Structure 1
Amino acid sequence: MSLRLMVLLAAVSLTTCDDDPGAAGPTPPRAVRTMVVDQGGADAYRTLPGVLTAAETMRLAFPVSGRLIEVPLRAGDRMVEGEQIARLDPAEITREITAAEAKLSAALARLDATDAEFQRQRALFERGLVARAGFERISAELSAALADRRVAETELAAARDRLDRITLTAPREGVVTDLLANRFEELAAGQPVYEVAVTATLQAEVLAPEALLAVIAPGTPVSVRLPAFPDQSFDAEVTEIAADAEAGIAYRVKARLAAPPEGAKTGFSAAVSIRLPRAAGALDVPLSALVYSDTQSEPTAGESGTVYVFDEATGTVRARRVRIDGVVGTDLLVTEGLSPGERVVTAGVALLTDGEAVRLWSLPE
């Protein structure tokens, strides 16, 4: 046999083998991870990180005007209820008191002299020795002297009251957050000296995602944990929910502590746990079972989604629409579309198609 014939026969043989459709075995079904769904247990909780802030702030000011000569506290300093925290210069008010005392002494002297003359004129008038016009004139002078005494007494009392008000005392325990006046500054009545955070009224502030707004409102009880006080939790109540979102679709929520622990300060980190009531009959399904091509954002309560349910009788998966009641950790709460005991695919759902034959994944032997 010639060499050319042998090469031709070999090529025909190779071509025949490559074109044989039975030479390679069939593609095995895709292996999938699954789990049997069941009803969950007790209500779940969502914990959000936050920070302690003052639930109440106050601005402290003198009720009188004057020159500030003592202002010992600075931002960050603590104040105790009843503590003297600022003082005005008493010199001007002391001069006012001295002037008012002199004015009152003069008014009293005039009143004594006028009253003595009035008594003399009245005795003469009663005996008919003085005309009515003269008696009425001295009566008017007595009334004016009495009025002058009352004015002088009022001015003196006001000056002494001002002297009592030149010392500023802390009405409550707190921490200075801002110093608003400087020493030797002339202050008007009511001009703030300090801004203070009231330490007895602390609140935790967190940013809550939009989905949580359906389960919280002012008055909702929550639990607060503080890393500075390990192994303790503190009761709190939601007091405020912001009307506008701040970061992404998150809203600022404030929860006031019922009894802040001794030593807690504004700026401490906090963790707020919010109870998520479980709907009757809700099933726990891993988030990884959800087909995200159906969902525009993180699944929230009231939305619907798609999961794949494994049919053991046919060895295939079927797409199933389910209703979502919420998200707890890494699980969906499903209220419609699934029944306890059904098996859902929990990994690789993006690669599956409805009716596809699959096999259950198992560890190699």
Structure 2
Amino acid sequence: MSITTRAAVLRHSTTDQPFATSTPLAVEELTLQEPGPGEVLVRITAAGLCHSDLSVVNGDRPRPLPMVLGHEAAGVVEGVGQGVTDVRVGDRVVCSYVPSCGNCSDCAGGNPVRCVDAQAANREARLVTGRRPFRDASGAELHHHLGVSAFSEYTVVSPRSLVKVPDEVPLETAAVFGCAVLTGAGAVFNTAAVRPGEAVAVIGLGGVGISAIMAAALAGAHPVIAVDTVESKLDSARAVGATHGVLAGDDAVEQIRDLTRGGVAVAIEAAGHPAALSTAYAATRVGGRVIITGLPHPRHEIGIPIVSLVAEEKSILGSYMGSSVPRRDLPRLFDLYAAGLLPADALVTSRSVPLDDLNAALDRLHSGSEVRQIITPGG
């Protein structure tokens, strides 16, 4: 058995812009096999467009192609395969792009983002069950994006990729919790463990960076300094808790150090660019923590004076998906949103973008004019 679904398919990566003209994403009518054992059919109602999607389109993050793109989403369970007891038909759910196996030492130890089986599945662009359930008009198999493939009316995922969404959280907002909020807030709460009164700078104000600003303010950090190349994004950051905004440039580090009498305790790099990481490192005080959440091109490297790591006792920590445990952290974050303490609606700068406008939406994302655009695959 299978169903028909419209989906955005990437067959070739390209840097040819504008994407609205080169149209790397083609909306195709596909068949989707029904969920097998340990799988769930989800109707996608909202999907966020993220820089991680753009990095697959432009080739910065090479993935097996052709692929049904999209990894940040929320929707409704429409069917469950044999052995699935975590969710039921009708449940409102948000997707996590690291499914985890639940059995390995990392999963058992509370670090599911490090799950070797899940990382292998994502690297090979398949589900953790081993399947790729999308087929094109010729019957050819299509690759899965990070276990989700959200730019489709329907998709099949692992139940370990799903967390239930409370009724008080709109699905259009819940979608951004699966990547942007979980990564940015997790970097603050989990990786950095920010303490009240610590000075925090966030470099790069996309969905992850704005989420980190919200979380830093909620954690009681002071000051909370937002850094970006786009002035309007500094205004957005101030609206959700930043106490200061600094335009990225030659004097950004000096401004941050002046504001904090020598540097921040925590600098969160959320731009995925070597220059942003250099700024973060230079703006961190003696004994400070530099948290890297951005995913740059695999060839990018930076030089750090080794002596400063020792003499200044700085630490550099990678933070993948905010070092989160989705089934533990997402319910907590939803509760904070429902209480009015985590204003995640501020991330969404465009709603109800149809699948057919995805290429133009990529151009807006690349220009920096949008934080999160919400795609509605079903129209």
TM bin (shorter chain) = under 0.3
- Greater helix fraction, Structure 1 or Structure 2: 2
Identify, as 1 or 2, the structure richer in strand: 1
Q: Relative CO higher for 1 or 2, CA cutoff 8 Å, sep ≥ 6?
A: 1
TM-score (norm 1): 0.21
